Amino acid sequence: MPKAKETVLEIDLSALTHNFNYLKSKLQPQTKFLAVVKAFAYGSDAVEIAKHLQKLNVDYFAVAYVNEGVALRDAGITAPILVLHPQSISFKTLIDRCLEPSIYSTHVLDEFIKITKAQSQKDYPVHIKFNTGLNRLGFKVNDIDSIVSKLDNTSSIKVKSLFSHLVASEDTNELEFSNNQIEKFKTIAATFEEKSGIKPWLHMCNTSGIINYPEAHFDMVRSGIGLYGFGNSIEEDNKLKPIASLKSVISQIHTIEKDETVGYNRAYTAKGIEKTATIPIGHADGISRIYGQEKGFVTINSEKAPIIGNVCMDMIMVNITNIDCKEGDEVIIFDNKYKANTLAEAANTISYEIMTSISQRVKRVFIP
Ligand SMILES: *Cc1c(COP(=O)(O)O)cnc(C)c1O
């Protein structure tokens, strides 16, 4: 790659292929793979990522909201798309674009049956979400009777899968809780099958679930962060390849005297004669103010340069006092060597957040 001369997010599609194949190697051959491409594929680019994964014969996609699914359909994605958190106001669009809803509450079930009946739909595929401990979205086991009786009264929808979500699949201290969720989900599935007489697919594992709970892969797994190169543990991180590199450039270098201050509200004071570099990336690009005050850093010519003072909307200033560099030099915010999770953890957050925060203003560049 030529050195960055502006702020760019480079997306390495061969790393995506590597991660997909690595995660698939953890599955039984018949287990289906759902790729989670919500939030612009975790900030990379949902359309390009989905096109690439579709070429690799991924079985399913998931997004959070209907408009994300619409963007994929507009781009020619034909694989089935599960919408994890639809609202009833967008059901008409969802049906028009052949998206498949997660049905997570009685209200949503009633509303979806109403609209599919009114449209004389037959066997419209839906996915029923059960809450096994996250207490975020989903039915409980004692809702099954009511769900089944509603299903018995309509032919407008058809349950394609039952699913649930693990609370702490990456946390080995929560093994007991996770196993308990898995057992609860098995009971739910058995009860549902018995009462409804149908046998939908089952799925429960996200990326860390794929790695830590092979006995809970069921019929399909749902992976997001792993595809983008993070495995929530040092061991797995070493096997995956981050697909996104955020790079920029030094716009200007200043030499400042002792006690001069840098940036808004004079949040940084020089301890002696110091050199600073101004970089064209700020909180509007996704570098949150939590990375200011020397919590976050960038890498210039392989040296760590802390972000000093407050992060501005369009810029950060970094300390380069001991770094040999010049205006126009490349700046790495994160890449496959200086990883996004290291930067995120330095500011007490997680790779998911920094990745999904990279705003649409940052140009995406795809490397085949
Ligand atoms: C986001 C999400 C996933 C993907 O989780 P990763 O940890 O990124 O693999 C899977 N399932 C559901 C329900 C989600 O919301």
Res 2 pLDDT > 90? no
Model pLDDT, residue 348: 95
171 alpha carbon – ligand 1 mean position (Å) = 15
pLDDT at 367: 97
Tell me how far the alpha carbon of residue 10 lies from the centroid of ligand 1, in angstroms: 23
313 annotated ligand binder: yes
Of the listed 264, 271, 304, 326, which one is catalytic?
264
Span 125-163, pLDDT tens digits: 999 999 999 999 999 999 999 999 999 999 999 999 999
Active site (annotated) includes residue 264:
yes
Minimal-distance CA residue to ligand 1 atom 15: 84
Q: What is the mean pLDDT of residues 35-47?
A: 98
Segment 286-300 shows an average pLDDT of 98
Backbone angles phi, psi at 149, to 5 degrees: -70, -35
Overall average pLDDT of the 302-319 stretch: 98
pLDDT in tens, 179-202: 999 999 999 999 999 999 999 999
Minimum CA distance residue for ligand 1 atom 3: 206
Q: Which atom of ligand 1 is nearest to the CA of 210?
A: 9
Q: Average pLDDT for residues 253-261, to the nearest whole number?
A: 98
Q: For the residues 164-176, what does the mean pLDDT come to? A: 97
pLDDT digits (tens, 9 = 90+) for 109-128: 999 999 999 999 999 999 99
What distance in angstroms lies between residue 83's CA and the mean position of ligand 1's atoms? 12
Q: Determine which one of 38, 160, 241, 247 is catalytic.
A: 38
Average pLDDT over residues 75-85: 98
* Residue-averaged pLDDT of the chain: 98
| Average pLDDT score over residue span 335-357 | 96
Q: Which domains does the chain have, with CATH numbers?
A: 31-228 (3.20.20.10), 244-367 (2.40.37.10)
- The helix or strand, by DSSP H or E, that contains position 249, with its residue range, turns out to be strand 244-249
Q: Is the pLDDT of residue 90 over 90?
A: yes
- Model confidence band, residue 242 (pLDDT cutoffs 50, 70, 90): very high
Q: Is 226 in the pocket of ligand 1 (CB under 6 A)?
A: yes
Q: Tell me how far the alpha carbon of residue 224 lies from the centroid of ligand 1, in angstroms.
A: 6
> Is the pTM higher than 0.95?
yes
- The tokens for 277 are 């570099």
pLDDT band at 268 (very low <50, low <70, confident <90, very high): very high
Characterize the bridge pairing of strands 297-300 and 252-256.
unpaired
Please give the full DSSP string across 178-190, using - where no structure is assigned. HHHHHHHHHHHHH
User: Among candidates 227, 200, 246, which has minimal Cα distance to 38?
Assistant: 227
User: What mean pLDDT is predicted for residues 160-188?
Assistant: 98
- Does the structure show a pLDDT above 90 at 1? no
Task: Calculate the CA 194 to chain-centre distance.
Answer: 35
DSSP string, 320-356: -TT----TT-EEEEE-SSS-HHHHHHHTT--HHHHHH
Averaged pLDDT, 270-299: 98
Tokens of 314: 């369009």
